[in-house]
Amino acid sequence: MRTVIKRLLYPVVAIAILGVDAVSASEALVALYNRGNEHYRAGDFEAAISAYERVVAQGLNNGEVYYNLGNAYFKNAQLGRAILSYERALNLMPGDRDVLANLQFANAQKIDRESEDDANILTRVLQAFFAFFTLDALAVMVCVFVFFIGGVAVCWIFVPVRRLLWGVLLVVFVGGLLGSAAMLAFKAHQHSIPKAIILVDEAIGRSGPGSDFLQVFTLHEGTKVEIERVEGRWLLVRLRSGLGGWIEARALERI
């Protein structure tokens, strides 16, 4: 039985903690990325864009590549693509200050004004609290609570004299586990909703999937939307304000 545990445990710990399954990029891709940086420093933003885009096209998902790509797009006056790249970088490096700052800066340049929610202080605090925990942080929290609970359970088994203490700790840790797991589940759900950035100067939202339908709203480059449905080459998108409309798929790109 012990040998079974050992056989299972070691690879699991190794994979989970060391992240061995995160594939490392080939040296050629790293060189291409560094060449993109060189072009950027030289002010040749178009060349930098093409270098970074090639790195991305090879299937490497790295936040720094997307961040630099966003910068190059921004300097090349392609606001929509800059915001798209920053959003992608943020997905890969949640909480990175550079990405957050530049995304905010780029968002400030766009035409569409995101209506500020008239939230009261409580909801704002909750939102800030919620935003504070990234998905990875929540995953680590879940993991830590699971291990704590396991530890307390083992203590319960072997140290029968402190049952009250172990019981209290167990309740606390189970509560923490449930809380963090619920948040993780919620955030993961939100994360799984496909989002997109408008890339054309002006995209018309219509009441149905077709250009004959009534015009509902107009969006401009750089605005972030959630994709609710896909019907042919038309997408039902929803704004943060809850406003929904059908937009042609070529007007935007998924994050």
Partner 1 sequence: MAMRGRKRWIFLCGVLFALLWAQGIDAQDVTMRASVDRTRVEVGDLIQFTVEVEAAQMGRVSAPQVPTPDGLQLTGSTSSTSMSVNIVNGEMTTKRTTTYHFSFRAQRQGTYVLGPAQLAHDGKTIRSDQVRVEVVKRSGRPQTRPAPSTGRSMGGSEIREIEQNLFLQAIPEKRMVYVGEQVGVTYKLFTRYDLRNVQYGHVPTFTGFWAETVFDAQRLNMQREVVDGRAFNTALLKRLALFPTTAGKHTLEQLEVNCEIVAGRRSRGLFDFDPFSAFDTQQVTVRSGDIEIEVRPLPAGAPKGFGGAVGQFEMRAEAIPDQVKAGDPVAVKVVVQGAGNLHAIDEPIRPDRARFKFYDPKTNLETQKQGISGKKTFEYVAIPQRAGQVILPPFTLAYFDPVQRRYKTVQTEPIALHVTPGELAPQPVDGLRGEEVRALGSDIRYIKPDRIHLADQGLLLYQRSGFWLLQLVPVLGVVGAYAYRRHRARLVGDVAYARRRRSRSEAQQRLGRAKGLMEAGDSAGFHGEIHRSLSQFVADRTNLSAAGLTADHIGSVLVEHGVDAQVIAGVQDVFGQCDQARFAPGQISEAQMQALFAQAEDLIGALERCI
Tokens of 38: 């060189």
> What contacts 138, CB < 8 A, 6 or more positions away?
180, 183, 184, 187
Nearer to partner 1, 22 or 164 (CB): 22
Distances in whole angstroms, Cα of residue 105 to Cα of each of 79, 92, 98, 249: 11, 19, 10, 26
Q: CA 241 from chain center: how many Å?
A: 20
Identified binder of partner 1 from the candidate list 42, 125, 131, 154, rule CB under 8 A: 154
Per-residue mark of binding to partner 1, 74-103 (x: CB under 8 A): xx-x-x------------xx----x--xx-
Nearer to partner 1, 102 or 206 (CB): 102
Answer yes or no whether residue 67 interacts with partner 1 by CB under 8 A. yes
The footprint of partner 1 on residues 201-220 (CB under 8 A) is none
Answer yes or no whether residue 46 interacts with partner 1 by CB under 8 A. no
Answer yes or no whether residue 249 interacts with partner 1 by CB under 8 A. no
Please identify, among the stretches 122-130, 154-162, 228-236, 238-246, the one whose residues bind partner 1 according to the rule CB under 8 A: 154-162
| Smallest separation (angstroms) from partner 1 to the CB of 113 | 5
CA distance 9 to 17: 12
Answer yes or no whether residue 17 interacts with partner 1 by CB under 8 A. yes
# binding residues, partner 1 (CB under 8 A): 70
Distances in whole angstroms, Cα of residue 85 to Cα of each of 111, 140, 170, 177, 199: 18, 26, 43, 34, 12
Can you give the length of the chain in residues? 255
